[in-house]
Chain A
């Protein structure tokens, strides 16, 4: 009987595919690799690897402890490599997160509020970052998070660095 092996990528081991152009411009495919982007990122930089109008997919290198952030809308963190603790907090003063603001905002220092709980997530685990709640990531060793969110002031665009151009 055939034994099937499922292949995932990681910071330590990934292999990129690519676009083979027949009659087009490779830039139109914005082809990149999550693990390559994370391997070249500073901890908790939010690097866009996908963009569709205001919506983005951000790659985050999880390493050490992040700042606290919050958004007025739900976000979703999918761990692609490593183990990441996600801490959630109900803000005592939510006025800093305007209801219609899109994208997450950085919160200064340790925000005041009630602990909601925490999630210890490994590869393949998806966590809801609820609208209006503050969240913080922590990883003892480097990991990778793919974040489903809306572009914000801290979203970084490095298309020419991360995408196939030829």
Chain B
């Protein structure tokens, strides 16, 4: 099996706006000061550059996530955990009926290298795709520097629990995580932990809400605790989820603070299924056959709960596991 490397990324030199043009299979990607232009053999599509970069950032950082990452109603990726489909119109009923949709499958290293190269080339020094719109500068204009530190952030992934020895560190002013402007009223007290002699390092607790109040990114689930394949992936949400997530497994949400509105659509056609309003303490499942996008008027704490079992997509696709979370 050949190993795909960054050298496989196909790109031109800079255009008149300073941005390189990329190609991956039969798809091409170009941008100017405001827009991104995607072409494939049977069609073309235009997206706003800021929205495209926010979606691309998450797809890259999440290693293509669980299931489908729709950049919008036309463009997106499907993770097959080793390979990735890049599609245009495949999960859009009108494109399918018109037979204008397109899908190509790539080894994960190749599409990841290409997406990373686009992200790094098209993100200007003023723009942070992970930040809320109020906390970043513009994505627009001719090419102006880069923001490599922002687009290559390391994703937090605790092996056991944040704060236990040799695992992910707590956040503080000292290590570069000030309290977010929307969370200045969140108590920062830590739990009182008393450890008996001989059990040092075995008794651990931390303030999850304070930890989340210091997150400098939005819509970026990160693992804080691990019970076998059960992962707590809390995240702080502000403005709009930049992707429409199509589930390949059941996913659960626990609203820890504030309020989020969700649009839920059929995963394959985009037909509207439901609206979900979540307030503090609410719990809701996202079935394995839908796609969803959230709207958060104030920065909110959301606990995303995932079952990371690699067997789940095949079990659900074969009908051996249900698309519904529970039956009653």
Contacts and interface: CB of A to CB of B under 8 A. Distances in A.
Interface of A: 4-9, 14-24, 26-36, 49-53, 55, 57, 73-76, 78, 80, 86, 88, 90, 114-128, 130, 133, 146, 148-150, 157, 159-160, 163
Given A120-B191, A159-B328, A31 B185 contact: no
B284 A23 contact: no
Residue in A21, A31, A52, A157 whose Cβ sees the most chain B Cβ within 10 Å: A52
Interface string B249-289: 11010111111000010000001111111111111111100
B172 to A, nearest CB: 16
A134 B209 CA distance: 26
Contacts of B277: 17-18, 20
B321 interface: yes
Contact of B227 (A6, A19, A55, A80): A55
Contacts of B183: 4, 6
B283 A30 contact: yes
A21 B275 CA distance: 6
Interface in B162-211: 162, 164, 181-187, 189-196, 198-199, 202-210
A78 B208 contact: yes
A76 B312 CA distance: 23
Contacts of B298: 4, 6
Given A50-B254, A118-B203, 15 more contacts: A4-B183, A6-B213, A8-B209, A18-B277, A19-B275, A30-B325, A52-B250, A53-B309, A117-B195, A121-B205, A125-B191, A126-B161, A128-B225, A157-B328, A159-B326
Contacts of A86: 205
A157 B160 CA distance: 27
B307 interface: yes
B284 A125 contact: no
Nearest to A14: B281
B274 A76 contact: no
A127 B258 contact: no
A157 B208 CA distance: 27
Contacts of A118: 193-194, 203
Residue in B203, B227, B229, B277 whose Cβ sees the most chain A Cβ within 10 Å: B227
B228 interface: yes
A16 B282 contact: yes
B305 interface: yes
B232 interface: yes
Nearest to B264: A24
A148 B326 contact: no
Contact of A148 (B195, B198, B225, B271): B225
A74 B198 contact: no
B196 A9 contact: no
Nearest to B192: A120
B224 interface: yes
Contact of A52 (B182, B184, B209, B325): B325
Contacts of B204: 127-128
B5 interface: no
B225 A30 contact: no
Given A90-B199, A126-B225, A31 B191 contact: no
A34 B281 contact: yes
